[in-house]
Amino acid sequence: MPSGGTEIEVSRAYKLETGSRTVALDETQLLDTQRAFDSVAADYDGPRGNNELIQRMRLTLWDTVGHTFPAGSRLLDLGCGTGIDAAEFARRGYDVVATDWSPQMVERTRARANEHGLTARVKAVHVGVHQLDRLDDTFDGIYSNFGPLNCAPDLGAVAAECARLLRPGGTLVFSVIGRICPWELGYYTLKGRFKRAAVRAARGATAVGMNRHTIWTYYYLPREFYRAFASHFSLESYRALSLFMPPPYLVDVYRRHRAGYERMGRLDDRLGALPLLRDMGDHFLIVMRRR
Ligand SMILES: C[S@@+](CC[C@H](N)C(=O)[O-])C[C@H]1O[C@@H](n2cnc3c(N)ncnc32)[C@H](O)[C@@H]1O
């Protein structure tokens, strides 16, 4: 298995330029990530994938999508997971094509749409973000929630495909795992786990464990992320998600002082879009418009 920063020679390696170094994410790594998410799909609506801190962050993307697109718009969901967002938007009157690289996640989305009588508005398709050339359609908007794009092997290629799939003036709304998470830095530094504290500093694909599997993850500053989209999209806005609030995996910390942390959450809502603050946080929410 190649480590971050190592150029590998495989027949179909996907490459990402990161500053001065080129790293590659090969098919083996994409399959690692697929297996990791397949393995948790059955219970991903529980604490791992949808605890109260995740639900809180989800609302910000829901509000942004709601304000950006009129009901009836056609939306593409990249990395739909179990289809919580797709179902919500279908209920609000949007038509959604929900895609994911994990077949088990796609199955969960399909089942959710069936269960809630939303099949006329949600179409679930097994397509990875590195396979968007397989879609032939036109959308008013594309959204992606909680980091599927952090697993994309070539963000520039994703940007070009999004530009192809969007109507002129169409909008992207993405929530992406950020590079500077003060909570994570502080929490693990105080525990003496320095390597864990610095995990987001890595350049290139980083192995992140989940359920005894590996998710290959790229971390971004908002400006690093936008750079891949800049030739096709103008930057509308970006903001921090869970900067003052603990990141979702520290939900036990939150539960011990719920009222205090709710105040922190209100600070996120009020201050998260301010310069400097918006460059930090567990995730950032970025909105870009097709030129
Ligand atoms: C943290 S989950 C978020 C799921 C969902 N968006 C949500 O809000 O609950 C990340 C999702 O990205 C998907 N994913 C990972 N790599 C992907 C890729 N290369 N293409 C598309 N989806 C991918 C995973 O299968 C998983 O469903």
pLDDT at position 19 is 35
pLDDT at position 20 is 32
Angle, helices 84-91 vs 52-68, to 10°: value is 40
Ligand 1 binding pocket mutation candidate from 112, 151, 206, 241 (most atoms within 8 A of CB): 151
Residues having CB closer than 6 A to ligand 1 are 33, 37, 49, 79-81, 84-85, 100-102, 105, 128-130, 145-148, 151-152
pLDDT at position 237 is 98
C-alpha–C-alpha distance, residues 149 and 142, integer Å: 12
Decide if 248 contacts 208 (C-beta within 8 A).
Answer: no
pLDDT means per 10 residues in the chain (291 residues)?
A: 27 35 71 98 94 97 98 98 98 98 98 98 98 97 98 97 97 98 98 96 94 97 98 98 98 96 97 98 98 93
pLDDT at position 24 is 52
Provide φ and ψ at 207, rounded to 5°: -80, 120
pTM score: 0.92
Please, what are the domains in the chain? 40-179+217-290 (3.40.50.150)
pLDDT at position 15 is 38
